[in-house]
Amino acid sequence: MNLFLKITLLTFFCFNFCFQSFAIGNGRQAKGFTRCDTLRGSLRDERTCYDVTYYDLSVTIDTAKQAISGVNKIYYKALQTFDVMQIDFFSNMVIDKIEYKGVVVPYKRECDAVFVYTRKELTQARGSEGSLEVYFHGYPKVARNAPWDGGFTWKYDEEGTPFIATSVQGIGASLWYPCKDYLGDEPDSMRISITCPQNLTAVSNGQYEGVEKNEDGTQQWKWFVSYPINTYNVSLNLGNYAHFEDEFTYSDGEKLKLNYYVLKYNLDKAKEQFKQVKPMLKCYEKYLGKYPFMRDGYKLIEVPYLGMEHQSAIAYGNGYKNGYAGIDFSKIGVLFDYIIIHESGHEWWGNSVSCKDLADMWIHESFCTYTESIYVECLHDYKTALRYINAKKNTVGNRSPIIGPYGVNQEGDKDMYSKGSLILNTFRSVLGNDNLWWSLIKNISDTTFKIKNVDANELLAHINKYTGYDFTAMFNQYFRYAAIPTFVYTLKKAKGKEYELKYRWQTDVPNFKMPVFIQTGNGKNQRIECTNEEQTLKMKLASPSKFLVNENLIFINVQNTSTKAEK
């Protein structure tokens, strides 16, 4: 890689490592799990008894004190009869009061969980609807290194104006507003009202509903999300913004509104850099379907950190540079803005197709990282996409499984990004039918799991049924174990140009079966079936050096056990 100096490459590696390390939970280290983890991550009776239908969140921002206050009205439907329910709110934040049907009700706090007692005379019957009003204030956790360390980012722009944004993936939305902080229960819709000084524009998710000026020098900005939304996707973005808009016309004539909010002195740069959005949307329509949140529109919002996939309000902080802060290992990625392409991909993978438990965050990150290569293939070709996706191998550690432990609010390994995309490339190669593969991808993103929550088992079952190919053993090895399959082989000369190949898979999963792709000197790939049992194949080679295992098509280790005499 001669494009950059060694120091630049080292800087990029650190950037890339840090960005992918975000998948381990905003800096959380591996640890023994506690009751607090269980309260946050598990589905207890106090959570399963109700389904959130709507949030009406009003929050006031005190920029001088770096404090917030507000109320969240939580609307829900009772799935079981209950008189106690759990919501979540970080313990450093203050609850002023909780009201139910206009009556102040008692609550108990444990860790970051809040148990609300609706009293026997106000017991919620199964099938009934209700609402809580939770009044709160406090100093929300400050993100020391957003977005990897989640929380509020309080900064000033180059002109000295407050520049503020939130980023809470992994650490959780209950860091700053009370909610049912469980990924499997999204509100069907949401209103966000933000009160701030009149010199700031406050941007959030969904559709702009207006702004009202107050006599005290503040103003309230109102936004409405008309689709289900992950709680961590709800965001606040405040700055001295310029706003410009555009629209994208889909192949059937339907129009998507595009809105951009950038610091005023970056307006010209933004208008140039954001020209990448329309070609991206065209590619994504072909492979993934239309933008999932058409009513709410697409937004890019400049923020004081690198970026985040907030639904219909994508946070952008890549400095109006291509690549990842201007850098990319493959050299291909410097041809486009990584944050625009990757974070926009999350509108399909993560925001529309969403996991139920943080353990399955790989569904968001693996498919979204793979979507980068889809974009490359769309703009260039398959060969270039293979180069791009295989350049990510040097960031894979294979230290722990991509799927994390369930019920404790813990993600799997950071490998869910690069390794996940390499696994999906492997599945495509093994399936060996591109028409079926792209049909599967679009079916998942645009039909079967569009705007739905899904877990690993449901997704695997659908993939197997849709393709007619049993990926179960492959899926378990790649996603549930740290190690990738090792192709163990011995190549022994028999007579003349005839050679004997003995080969097998070394895996954690028993009865493992997956094809491997070899070349014997003519540059063509030969597919051979392989299992854990040793098999033998005879072939003709001009020399042993002509034998090649194609590791660009499948993500594997290769172990040649041939002796010198055999070679």
CB 95 within 8 A of CB 114: yes
Q: Is residue 368 classed as helix, strand or coil in its secondary structure?
A: helix
CA distance 189 to 227: 5
Q: In what order do the strands lie in the sheet with 237-239?
A: 151-156, 162-167, 237-239, 201-203
For residues 168 and 177, is the Cβ–Cβ distance under 8 A?
A: no
Count the Cβ atoms, other than its own, within 10 Å of residue 179: 24
Q: What are phi and psi of 430, to 5 degrees?
A: -65, -40
As given in the structure block, the two tokens for residue 492 are 């022994």
pLDDT in the model for residue 123: 80
In CATH, which superfamily holds the domain spanning 1-31+239-483? Answer: Neutral Protease Domain 2 (1.10.390.10)
Please tell me the predicted confidence (pLDDT) of residue 221.
99
Q: Return the SS3 of 4.
A: coil
Say how many C-beta atoms besides its own lie within 10 A of residue 506's C-beta.
Answer: 14
Dihedral sign (CA 190, 191, 195, 201): positive
This prediction has a pTM of 0.93
Where do the H-state alpha helices sit in 432-471?
434-443, 456-467
Q: Quick one: tokens of 69?
A: 């206050």
The span from the CA of 475 to the CA of 459, in Å, is: 11
Residue with tokens 């494009």: 3
The per-residue b/e assignment along 411-442, b for 16 or more CB within 10 angstroms, e otherwise, is bbbbbbbbbbbbbbbbbbbbbeeeeebeebbb
- Distance, in Å, from the CA atom of 473 to the CA atom of 476, rounded to the nearest integer, reads 5
Which residues neighbour 17 within 8 Å (Cβ) at sequence distance 6 or greater? 395, 414
Distance of CA 534 to CAs 476, 500, 555, Å? 21, 12, 20
DSSP states of 502-523 = EEEEE-SSTT-B--EEEE-SSS
Dist CA 533 CA 514 (whole Å): 12
Per-residue pLDDT for the chain (567 aa), expressed as one digit of tens each?
A: 333 333 333 334 444 444 444 433 333 344 589 999 999 999 999 999 999 999 999 999 999 999 999 999 999 999 999 999 999 999 999 999 999 989 999 999 999 999 999 877 678 899 999 999 999 999 999 999 999 999 999 999 999 999 999 999 999 999 999 999 999 999 999 999 999 999 999 999 999 999 999 999 999 999 999 999 999 999 999 999 999 999 999 999 999 999 999 999 999 999 999 999 999 999 999 999 999 999 999 999 999 999 999 999 999 999 999 998 888 767 888 899 999 999 999 999 999 999 999 999 999 999 999 999 999 999 999 999 999 999 999 999 999 999 999 999 999 999 999 999 999 999 999 999 999 999 999 999 999 999 999 999 999 999 999 999 999 999 999 999 999 999 999 999 998 899 999 999 999 999 999 999 999 999 999 999 999 999 999 999 999 999 999 999 999 999 999 976 555
| Helix (H) and strand (E) counts in the chain | 12, 29
Cα 459 to Cα 454: distance, rounded to the nearest angstrom: 7
Residue ranges per structural domain of the chain: 1-31+239-483, 486-560
Cα–Cα distance list, 385 to 15, 141, 276, 310, 379 (Å): 22, 40, 18, 26, 9
Type and span of the H or E element at 94: strand 94-100
Kindly provide the residue ranges of all beta strands, DSSP E only, lying in 101-198, ordered along the sequence. 103-104, 107-110, 113-117, 129-138, 151-156, 162-167, 189-197
| CATH of the domain spanning 486-560, picked from 2.40.160, 3.40.50, 1.10.10, 2.60.40 | 2.60.40
Same fold, 1-31+239-483 and 486-560: no
